Amino acid sequence: MVACLSLWFNSVAILDRIRPIFRSFFLFAIACLIGIGKSSAQPEFEQHLDFPKIQKLLNEGIDENNLRKQALAWYHWAYYDEVHTGISDSAFQYFDRSAIRFLKAGDSSAYQRVRADLADRLADKKLFDQAFRMYLEALDYYERNNNLYLEANLLARLNRACLLKGDSTGAANFKRRFMKRNESLKDTLLEIIVVRDEIDKLRKRHDYRAARSVSFRVLQLANLKKNDELITWAQYSIADNARLDRDYNTAIEYFHKAEKSNPLEAMRRDIYLGLSETYTALDSLQLANYYAIRYAKLGDTLLDRGRFASLQQLALRYDTRGKSEAIKMLQEQNVEVLERTKFQRLALAALGVAFFAVILASFFIARDYRHRLHTDRVIAGQTAELNLQRIRELEDKLKIETMQSMLVGQESERRRIAQDLHDSVGGLLAAIKMQVEKLQSKNGQMNKAEDLSKITNLIDNTVAETRHIARNMQPSTLLEFGLPTALRDLTNHFRMDGMPSISFQGVGDFSNLDHNLALHCYRIVQELLQNSLKHAKAKEILVQITRTDHQIDLLVEDDGAGYEPGNVKKGMGTDGIAQRVQFLKGEINIQSAKGQGTSTLVTVPLG
């Protein structure tokens, strides 16, 4: 008997250390039940994705440039690392990435939800300042959007965070606000969150009587919801707090009620241990030993017969106190059985410990291996992505440099041709005109010759056309007077009979504009204007340039025939416009439809 009880006390002392693990498990189960008690407005958050599905979702979001899919993938990845790999630190980074993408996608509700989840983990890490700032931002959002359920949920979370911080005044304030909201919401599971946290607080203060009273409240709420798991947990909580408060009769009553509620195996072990400790306190050693054995070897059928025989021998010893010889014999037999049982238990315990050590080592090795594989895959993917990004950057840089060289070469060639036209061809035409005029002055009758007059007019037209070509190739007005004056001069050139009415507007200060940038803007407007004149068949054309602190807007708009932008083949003119816009890192926006005219807006950033 003494050996059996000694073995039991040792097992209780060891197993009592793991009691908080089981208790934490059931509190986690309650939290999970509460978390799914309400249907979510965003069911995609409640899905449990494996790693391939998470990776697929993230890749789809990147390929489609869908920020919301990317945000959901990072959200599920954070939970995956916590649950499957045991890595909690990476969850902070992944939740933050998820929140940023939800914010950019314009989904404020999802953004606040992720921030609240992130705040839970900050509170567990004792980073209360950051956690409370996130909680309060989310609470303010839900209040403004009249989301009563999520508002109450945030108040319950704030109550828990205040308890973790040790701020009983703040916890009481948030609890009072939660209860007021829940009067209209009447959500029992949300109320259990607050009540459960209050039980934990009271147990830490060793106020077991108050903790038991609150546990009765949990039992009432669980009965209202008809939730078997919560009912069993509440009965166990009442019994355990009554045991710690030394109200052993109540403890035994509710331990047995919990035992009859068909609890899970882990809870049943805790119930057996509680019964064993309670009967020990009442000096009912037989029942204490009975439940200690059931707790220590729940479901172990190999040693049930030996223990049953030992208990029978102990019962015979209590029933035959007057027979010394029989008692002595039974004691010897009992010692022999107990020694055998002890040896078997030690052997089984050693075997179990060895087996558990092997399993545990295999688990950690496998987990470490999987984690390394996962890390290697992530690093390889990130390296490949960085390499692709560098290649794209180099390609873009090379394309821009090539484009710059081409545009510089074009402008240089235009300057050369314009100079040649002005100096060479223009000079020759001027000399020819002077010779013709000289010939006319020598012979008065030649002034009346019709052919000579035609030659003179042809020379004048040729000189004007040469000047026009030279001016288009290298606008001197741009260099001398700036971009607005050059464009006004360009539009004035087309104002004649049979041409559309062209209006020009310049807004802003262009005095200190870089010459190369002004030249590119001039060429873009020149090409757009020529396209309208050639193809639009318009009656009115508007040319407008606007400069602000950060950009230049170039607008060419007509009321012509219009076209479908996607169905028009690009020519040299449109290619030149696109190249210049890309070189300037600008954007081009074309609005057109058949019969509705065309509006082309080019935006060029400054600086």
Q: Kindly report, residue by residue over 43-87, the tens digit of the pLDDT.
A: 777 677 888 888 899 999 998 999 999 999 999 888 777 755 555
Lowest mean pLDDT among 23-37, 83-97, 442-456, 524-538: 23-37
- Provide the 3-class DSSP secondary structure of residue 482: coil
Statement: residue 23 has pLDDT above 50: no
112-to-116, 296, 481, 519 alpha-carbon distances in Å: 6, 47, 55, 49
- Euclidean distance between CA atoms 406 and 417, whole angstroms: 16
Q: How far is CA 179 from the centre of its chain?
A: 32
Structural element, H or E, at residue 188:
helix 188-204
270-to-14, 217, 237, 299, 408 alpha-carbon distances in Å: 13, 21, 11, 14, 84
Q: Indicate the pLDDT class of residue 512, thresholds 50, 70 and 90.
A: confident
- Euclidean distance between CA atoms 284 and 318, whole angstroms: 13
Statement: residue 337 has pLDDT above 90: no
Q: Indicate the pLDDT class of residue 266, thresholds 50, 70 and 90.
A: low
Q: Return the top range by mean pLDDT from 20-34, 255-269, 437-451, 547-561.
A: 547-561
Would you give the DSSP letter of residue 16? G
Q: Degrees (nearest 5) of the Cα angle 329, 335, 338?
A: 140
How does pLDDT run across 99-157, given as a tens digit for each residue? 999 999 999 988 998 998 889 888 888 899 999 999 999 999 988 888 877 888 888 88
How does pLDDT run across 178-208, given as a tens digit for each residue? 777 766 666 555 566 666 667 777 887 888 8
Structural element, H or E, at residue 382:
helix 324-420
* The pLDDT value given to residue 473: 62
Assigned CATH for 478-605: 3.30.565.10
Q: Return the top range by mean pLDDT from 32-36, 123-127, 565-569.
A: 123-127
Please give the structure tokens belonging to residue 563. Answer: 């076209």
Domain ranges of the chain: 478-605
Q: What b/e string do you get for 326-346 counting C-beta neighbours within 10 Å, with b at 16 or more? A: ebeebeeebeebbeebeeebe
How does pLDDT run across 158-170, given as a tens digit for each residue? 888 888 888 888 8
How does pLDDT run across 369-389, given as a tens digit for each residue? 888 888 888 888 888 888 888
Would you give the DSSP letter of residue 37? S
Q: How much helix, strand and coil, in percent to the nearest 5, is found in the chain?
A: 75, 5, 15
Closest by CA to 243, choosing from 268, 275, 272, is 275
Residue 514 and residue 475 in contact, taking contact as beta carbons nearer than 8 Å: no
- Euclidean distance between CA atoms 223 and 420, whole angstroms: 100
* The pLDDT value given to residue 15: 39
Between 459 and 71, residue with greater pLDDT: 71
Phi, psi (degrees; rounded to nearest 5) at 590: -115, 125
Burial (Cβ within 10 Å: 0-12, 13-18, ≥19) of residue 374: middle
Strand partners, 547: 552
Statement: residue 322 has pLDDT above 60: no
Statement: residue 601 has pLDDT above 70: yes
- Euclidean distance between CA atoms 595 and 537, whole angstroms: 11
Please give the structure tokens belonging to residue 16. Answer: 């009592």
How does pLDDT run across 294-312, given as a tens digit for each residue? 887 764 533 443 343 334 3
Between 44 and 325, residue with greater pLDDT: 44
Lowest mean pLDDT among 176-180, 222-226, 272-276, 410-414: 410-414
Average pLDDT, the chain: 76
Q: What b/e string do you get for 5-29 counting C-beta neighbours within 10 Å, with b at 16 or more? A: eebbeebbeebeeeeeebbeebbeb
Statement: residue 313 has pLDDT above 50: no
